[in-house]
Amino acid sequence: MLVNVCIAKLHRATVTDADLGYMGSITIDQALLDAAGLLPGQMVTINNASNAVSWRTYILAGKKGKGEIILNGPPARLFQPGDKVVILGEAWVETKEAKKMSPTVVFFTEKGKNPNKISSIKKGWRPE
């Protein structure tokens, strides 16, 4: 049996733009994708800490090093620049493998010019 699990989490990233005219998805800086182990086209759930909205879509890779988190299409009405979000990367895996997994969590600095500067990465992190 396959189960849907969280393999990675971008914790409290900051939305940098919202593009209502684009046809859909979320654009995430390639450096952030690399840090989390996420892939373009992969499904993610985005939870908005600013207004409690949750949205599911697929990833588009953004330019590396720009720190972009852009909600495209319909979610642009629900996610605005400056909103803090938790982005959960999903994967379907065998139950046996899922029991051994825990997500990679990417944390961000709360201050500074680039709101999506990585402060730390916890691999295999589990809450205590």
Known active-site residue 102: no
Q: For 90, list phi and psi in degrees, rounded to 5.
A: -110, 155
End-to-end CA distance of the chain: 28
pLDDT at 110: 79
- Give residue 125's pLDDT: 60
Protein fold of 2-122:
Barwin-like endoglucanases (2.40.40)
Task: Write the pLDDT tens digit of every residue in 84-114.
Answer: 999 999 999 999 999 888 899 999 997 777 7
Q: What per-residue confidence (pLDDT) applies to 127?
A: 54
The pTM (predicted TM-score) of the whole model is 0.92
The residue with tokens 């065998």 is 94
Choice among 25, 54, 102, 119 that is catalytic: 25
**CA proximity to 25, closest of 17, 13, 34:** 17
**CA dihedral over 36, 42, 47, 49, signed as positive or negative:** positive
> According to the model, what pLDDT value does residue 109 have?
92
Low-confidence ranges of the chain (pLDDT < 50): 128
Catalytic residue, from 54, 58, 119, 120: name it.
58
Distance between CA atoms of 62 and 118, rounded to whole angstroms? 16
What six digits make up the tokens of 63? Answer: 């330019």
Q: State which H helix or E strand residue 89 sits in.
A: strand 84-94
58 noted as active-site residue? yes
